[in-house]
Amino acid sequence: MIKAIIVEDEPYSCEHLASLLSGFCSNVELVGMAHDVKSGYELISKINPDLVLLDIEMPDGTGFDLLQKFAKIKFEIIFTTAFAEYAVKAFQFSAIHYLLKPIDPEGLVSAINKAEDELERKNIETRVNALYFNLQNQAGKGKKVVLSSGTKLYVIDSNEIIMCLKEYDDLLVTYGFFRVHKQYLINIDYIKSFDRAGGGAVNLSNGLKIPVAELLKRQ
d(CA 167, CA 162): 15
pTM: 0.63
Q: Where is mean pLDDT largest: 18-27, 99-108, 198-207?
A: 18-27
Provide mean pLDDT across the span 21-26. Answer: 96
Q: Are residues 210 and 184 in contact, defined by beta-carbon separation less than 8 angstroms?
A: yes
Q: Where is mean pLDDT largest: 94-103, 123-132, 210-219?
A: 94-103
| From-to residues of CATH 3.40.50.2300 in the chain | 2-137
pLDDT in tens, 50-65: 999 999 889 999 888 9
CA-CA-CA-CA torsion for 40, 46, 49, 51, nearest 10 degrees? Answer: 10
d(CA 55, CA 206): 44
Higher pLDDT, 116 or 91: 116
2-137 CATH, one of 3.40.50.2300, 3.40.190.10, 3.30.1360.40, 3.20.20.370: 3.40.50.2300
d(CA 5, CA 52): 5
- pLDDT value, residue 120: 75
How many of the other CB atoms lie within 10 Å of CB of 165?
10
- pLDDT value, residue 169: 61
What sign does the dihedral 32-38-44-45 (CA atoms) show?
A: negative
pLDDT in tens, 149-194: 444 444 455 554 444 445 556 656 655 667 776 666 677 777 778 7
Provide mean pLDDT across the span 133-151. Answer: 55
